Chains A and B, each alone.
Chain A
């Protein structure tokens, strides 16, 4: 193991964390403001990826595809919010879980109906593909570097939105006291729709970016959804800052765990079983971290109330 390899793995962890943040920020906003558990958030991620792949293939332009991912995911978000989610705000968490679980089935099977059962093609545009050499001689994928940059830019933008703008004040007010904010004359329904669409657009955008380097297929959203939940719970629900810290923590711990644990076990086991045991433990690692965090801080790192 060399020092450059370690640095490269930390970059990989950062990049993974930033992707998780795009998912988790929407989820945590929707939960914080509306008190809604949205299992279908992963479906919006999938919608973004499929929209990007379809539009990029049809038009030949990756950038149009990226724009489409934002537009279509936001549109899907607005539609779902108006038709279904709106009725769930006053319900208990259990009804929300069941309804959004049903939405997963509808989205997944609907997408398969529209696009067929085979994965779609979506690739990084020529200009962003390949690797660059960083100071210290580290070769690193240009697209991944860009994801890290874009991710942090969005995180900064979101924090500014929440803390500096009028709508941010409304959102924060909505988190702490729902009756109060509608009493102040804010159109609460409109605010909810906007927040939901924002979360959906972020998820769709994440789906498009990830789809470019992974695979665009039905069911791609659920594994990420589980990780995004882990993130927001570690960070503290409703907190954008918490989501950011949680994402980076999960991303780096997971990546380094996969990389270092087999090496660690290799010190006192034969290579084959060391990799097997090490990677088994690595796949459990983030859940252990989460359980550990919640054990010592039952409302997450930055959470106020449950």
Chain B
């Protein structure tokens, strides 16, 4: 029963985002399209995190590392393309590029690689220790990015224009929105496929009872690591899109606040709900910009609202809408 109802709500959310952007386009309100794009991008980041946090029970407080890494890949490649310089010349010559089709795979691959390194080191721990060690790695990268001068340090790295996609004018808000929206759809499908696959079942089994999974011959460490790597790759992709949205990237994408924000989106929407990140990001970003326009002290009201949500609506937004109890993690 709840399943069908949840499916309906999911469809409304997904299509609603598209319709909101299209209406904004017709009304010539490009800023609303930009906000819809931001929702789509942070939903993708949240979907990535949700895979680890929701389905795998791996509460990472360091996903800003992957988000930022993807962001900087886009920024650095575009910057080199702009200045016509090489990214590196050894062992092979690597030139910059401003083609999204080139940037995406590089960014996903590198973010996943970072996730692999962090995962191998972090997954030895669990619980709060895992939360804090992932935070520690993100903080290391954050401080490195601030003080490393080659790509702007704390000032960040402007790319001036968006990277290009064949056949589209990416600087046009609605066309860039559609790119992000398609990626959102792809991420949702990918996540759904993973969750329902043999691997996904093993992952959720690992979360619930590691010993039982081990007894049927599955190595829980390996399952968790793979999930963490996929999660990092998806979040890294969101980071590249965010650089393109802003035509700019700065170390603040690595800050613990970014990790916290992505996490809040996921929890707000509903942990281990496929469309939870979308619901959470949509609500949070809408509140941020409407409250921000109304009062200087909007963060106070946002805080009270979040408190209300967490105290009285277990299971997050999707949980409330389907009036089902949230999955405990």
Contact = CB atoms under 8 A, between A and B. Distances in A.
Contact of A92 (B121, B128, B305, B329): B329
Interface stretch (A66-74, A97-105, A125-133, A187-195): A97-105
Interface stretch (B80-88, B100-108, B135-143, B225-233): B135-143
B63 to A, nearest CB: 13
Contacts of A3: none
Interface string A270-300: 0000001001100110011011001100111
Contacts of B149: 276
Chain B facing A: main interface SS: helix
A81 interface: no
B310 interface: yes
B304 A106 contact: yes
Contact of B124 (A91, A226, A230, A295): A295
Given A87-B311, A276-B149, A291-B136, A37 B125 contact: no
B208 to A, nearest CB: 13
Given A98-B268, A106-B304, A291 B133 contact: yes
A300 B268 CA distance: 31
Contacts of B17: none
B303 interface: yes
B133 A290 contact: yes
A67 B285 CA distance: 41
B121 A295 contact: yes
A299 B297 CA distance: 40
B299 interface: yes
B220 interface: no
Contact of A94 (B124, B133, B135, B267): B267
A84 interface: yes
Contacts, number: 131
B310 A102 contact: yes
Contacts of B211: none
A229 B132 contact: yes
B143 A99 contact: no
Given A280-B148, A283-B147, A291-B137, A101 B125 contact: no
A109 interface: yes
Given A92-B329, A94-B271, A109 B299 contact: yes
Contact of A287 (B137, B264, B268): B137
Contact of B303 (A92, A95, A106): A106
A279 B147 contact: yes
A106 B311 CA distance: 15
B303 A103 contact: yes
B138 to A, nearest CB: 9
A294 B149 CA distance: 30
B117 to A, nearest CB: 11
A112 interface: yes
Contact of B140 (A95, A276, A288): A288
A298 B126 contact: yes
A219 to B, nearest CB: 11
A103 B264 CA distance: 13
Nearest to A225: B256
Interface residues of A, number: 44
Given A84-B311, A92-B328, A95-B267, A233 B137 contact: no
Contacts of A91: 314
B300 A94 contact: no
A284 B125 contact: no
Contacts of A84: 307, 311
Nearest to B305: A102
B31 interface: no
Given A84-B311, A280-B143, A306-B127, A105 B303 contact: yes
Interface in B280-329: 297-300, 302-307, 309-311, 314, 328-329
B300 A280 contact: no
B139 A306 contact: no
A285 to B, nearest CB: 9
Interface string B148-183: 110000000000000000000000000000000000
B263 interface: yes
A237 interface: yes
Contacts of B32: none
B300 A110 contact: yes
Nearest to A106: B303
A294 B303 contact: no
B260 interface: yes
A108 B124 contact: no
A291 to B, nearest CB: 5
Contacts of B304: 102, 106
Interface in A180-209: none
Contacts of B137: 287, 291
B116 interface: no
A108 B149 CA distance: 32
Contact of B147 (A37, A87, A280): A280
Contacts of B115: none
Closest A-B pairs by Cβ, 7 of them: A105-B303, A102-B306, A280-B147, A109-B300, A306-B127, A106-B303, A287-B136
Interface of A: 31, 37, 84, 87, 91-95, 97-99, 101-106, 108-110, 112-113, 226, 229-230, 233, 237, 276, 279-280, 283-284, 287-288, 290-291, 294-295, 298-300, 303, 306
29 contacts: A31-B128, A37-B128, A37-B131, A92-B328, A94-B59, A95-B310, A98-B306, A99-B311, A102-B310, A106-B303, A108-B299, A109-B298, A113-B297, A226-B256, A230-B132, A230-B136, A237-B128, A280-B143, A280-B146, A284-B143, A287-B140, A290-B132, A291-B140, A294-B124, A294-B136, A298-B124, A298-B125, A299-B129, A303-B129
